[in-house]
């Protein structure tokens, strides 16, 4: 009974995979590939975007101060307006990661069958009938193919590259190799259900699996090829109330760099002088806390995948400065920073996969986008993956600022997971 059910289910799904109901591509094969691509993407999404998360954390928390001094009291409030620039070089190890593919745990095929149909008694014999919805056929076919892929992975028939590009790296055409039809047949031969079949049943399944219309590889995201990041942040500081300053930052949506994408930013913080409590003021010390939010949107690759990342960032620091000659401040500080990012990635199948499946015609020139046609319109069903990522960071900053009248120029260097230079020009009113 169980063997008959397995043969029937594999027969129906394999016929569905092999049938060319549309001249150029098989919808069922396309949908199964989408399911595998989603597994592949979500297996690698965190290491792919993590360097971006670390970089946003380090960049957004730069240029909070250019000295530690805050007056304990003032006759009237002052406003300091500044423009702050940051520049950092992306380390080579931030451009690459080790990819993997997680197909999930093995399942019991026989216990999964009722999810997509039912067993009925026909003329005294059990018969498996797939549900009448397309989702039933797709679910059953996907489950069976994924189980064969898990067997293929255990047998070493799935090849994963040693390295892949993060969002900052660039490695086009870097693919995970999937098993050939012959290898799928080989793992099928090792399944316990197959070994119980008679010669006719084995021959039937061998023929069906040999004719599965499936892609031979899946391309990993290529990255955008970045070696440095440059940003600028306007800032307003208002003080002083009992030795406390208010800091405000804001950037409307703007594109600093085509590779980075469209970036918006806001922040609010408080800085409080500790040295105002010292009996004698040999140098200045202050503590500061800042809460920020960012949004980053970008379009990546030949298939124009869309990235939308929202981040919340918190930084707490203690910094000290020493004034020399009433015109130069040397300062240093230590900060603890944390970031939480939620990233939504909307993507279609890689172009190479779409061409192999017949969804798109071959591109006119290698490396260029394919031109969709009425018969081969491309992947019209984008998938969405939401990935959450966090990062904590300890930063040490050292710098100097020079004041002349109402103007102050500052330059510093921060050492953290992403080292960064920053400079600022401020005017106090």
Provide the β-strand partners of residue 96. 165
Dist CA 305 CA 30 (whole Å): 18
393 Cβ contact partners less than 8 Å away, ≥ 6 residues apart: 54, 57, 58, 61, 336, 337, 338, 339, 416, 417
Dist CA 90 CA 392 (whole Å): 18
pLDDT of amino acid 422: 92
User: If one looks up domain 65-92+233-428 in CATH, what number appears?
Assistant: 2.40.128
* Strand, helix or coil for residue 123: coil
- Cα–Cα distances (Å) from 330 to 67, 69, 105, 139, 240, in that order, read 7, 11, 58, 65, 21
425 Cβ contact partners less than 8 Å away, ≥ 6 residues apart: 82, 83, 407, 408, 409, 410
Whether residue 240 has a cis bond before it, omega within 30° of 0:
yes
pLDDT of amino acid 78: 92
* Strand, helix or coil for residue 199: helix
The pLDDT tens digits of the residues spanning 47-60 come to: 888 888 888 778 88
Task: Kindly state the tokens that stand for 191.
Answer: 């399944």
- Tell me phi and psi for residue 40, to 5 degrees: -65, -45
Q: Is the CA virtual torsion 45, 46, 47, 49 positive or negative?
A: positive
CATH 2.40.128, the chain: domain bounds:
65-92+233-428
Phi-psi region of 301 (alpha: psi -120 to 50; beta: other; left: phi over 0): left
pTM above 0.85, yes or no: no
198 Cβ contact partners less than 8 Å away, ≥ 6 residues apart: none
pLDDT of amino acid 256: 60
pLDDT of amino acid 1: 43
Q: Is 206 exposed, middle or buried (0-12, 13-18, 19+ CB in 10 A)?
A: middle
- Cα–Cα distances (Å) from 294 to 199, 309, 317, 371, in that order, read 63, 8, 20, 35
The pLDDT tens digits of the residues spanning 163-204 come to: 999 988 999 888 888 888 888 888 888 888 777 777 776 777
Taking the mean position of all CA atoms in its chain, how far away is CA 338? 18
Beta carbons of 199 and 15 less than 8 angstroms apart: no
Dist CA 53 CA 339 (whole Å): 8
pLDDT of amino acid 19: 44
Q: Transcribe 345-387 into DSSP letters.
A: EEE---HHHHHHHTSSPPPSSTTS-----SS-------EEEEE
- Work out the number of other CB atoms within 10 angstroms of the CB of residue 73: 9
Taking the mean position of all CA atoms in its chain, how far away is CA 322? 42
Provide the β-strand partners of residue 332. 320, 398
pLDDT of amino acid 309: 83
pLDDT tens for the chain, 429 residues long, are: 444 555 555 555 544 444 444 457 777 778 888 888 888 888 888 888 888 888 877 888 888 999 999 998 888 899 999 998 888 888 888 899 999 888 888 888 778 878 888 877 777 776 667 788 878 877 877 888 888 888 999 999 999 999 999 988 999 888 888 888 888 888 888 888 777 777 776 777 777 677 666 788 888 888 888 888 888 889 999 988 999 999 999 888 777 666 667 778 899 999 999 999 988 888 999 999 999 998 888 776 656 678 788 889 999 999 999 999 989 999 999 999 998 988 888 888 888 888 888 888 988 887 788 888 988 888 888 999 888 888 898 999 999 999 999 999 999 999 988 888 999 999 988
pLDDT of amino acid 260: 63
Nearest 10 degrees: CA dihedral of 184, 186, 190, 195? Answer: 100
- The strand ranges marked E within 33-95 are 78-89
Dist CA 88 CA 4 (whole Å): 64
pLDDT of amino acid 97: 93
Task: Kindly state the tokens that stand for 84.
Answer: 């702050």
- Tell me phi and psi for residue 361, to 5 degrees: -75, 160
């Amino acid at each position: 009974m169980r063997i008959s059910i397995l043969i029937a289910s594999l027969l129906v799904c394999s016929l569905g995979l092999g049938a060319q109901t549309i001249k150029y591509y098989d919808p069922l094969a396309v949908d199964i590939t989408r399911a595998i691509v989603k597994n592949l993407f979500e297996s690698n999404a965190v290491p792919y975007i993590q360097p971006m998360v670390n970089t946003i954390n380090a960049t957004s928390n730069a240029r909070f101060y250019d000295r530690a001094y805050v007056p304990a009291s003032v006759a009237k409030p002052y406003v300091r307006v500044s423009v702050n620039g940051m520049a950092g070089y992306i380390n080579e190890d931030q451009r690459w990661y080790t990819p993997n593919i997680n197909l999930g745990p093995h399942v019991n095929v026989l216990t999964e069958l009722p999810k997509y149909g039912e067993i009925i008694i026909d003329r005294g014999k059990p018969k498996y009938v797939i549900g009448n919805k397309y989702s039933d056929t797709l679910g059953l076919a996907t489950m069976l193919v994924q189980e064969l892929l898990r067997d293929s992975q255990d047998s070493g028939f799935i090849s994963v590259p040693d390295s892949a590009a993060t969002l900052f790296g660039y490695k086009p055409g870097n693919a995970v190799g999937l098993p050939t039809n012959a290898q799928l047949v080989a793992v099928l031969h090792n399944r316990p259900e197959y070994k119980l079949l008679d010669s006719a049943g084995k021959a039937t399944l061998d023929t069906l699996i040999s004719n599965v219309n499936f892609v031979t590889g899946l391309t990993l995201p290529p990255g955008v090829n970045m070696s440095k990041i440059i940003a600028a942040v306007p800032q307003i500081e208002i003080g002083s109330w009992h030795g406390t300053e208010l800091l405000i930052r804001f950037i409307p949506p703007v594109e600093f760099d085509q590779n980075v994408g469209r970036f918006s930013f806001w922040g609010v913080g408080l800085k409080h002088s500790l040295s105002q409590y010292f009996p004698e003021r040999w140098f200045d010390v202050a503590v500061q806390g800042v809460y920020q939010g960012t949004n980053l949107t970008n379009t990546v690759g030949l298939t124009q995948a869309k990235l939308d990342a929202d981040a919340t960032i918190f930084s707490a620091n203690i910094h000290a400065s020493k004034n020399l000659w009433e015109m130069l401040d040397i300062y240093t500080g230590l900060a603890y920073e944390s970031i939480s990012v939620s990233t939504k990635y909307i993507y279609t199948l890689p172009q190479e996969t779409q061409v192999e499946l017949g969804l798109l015609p071959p591109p006119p020139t290698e490396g260029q986008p394919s031109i969709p046609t009425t018969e081969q319109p491309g992947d019209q069903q984008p998938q969405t993956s939401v990935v959450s990522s966090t990062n904590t960071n300890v930063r040490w900053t050292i710098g100097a600022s020079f004041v002349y009248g109402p103007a102050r120029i500052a330059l510093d260097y921060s050492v953290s997971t992403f080292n960064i230079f920053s400079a600022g020009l401020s005017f106090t009113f």
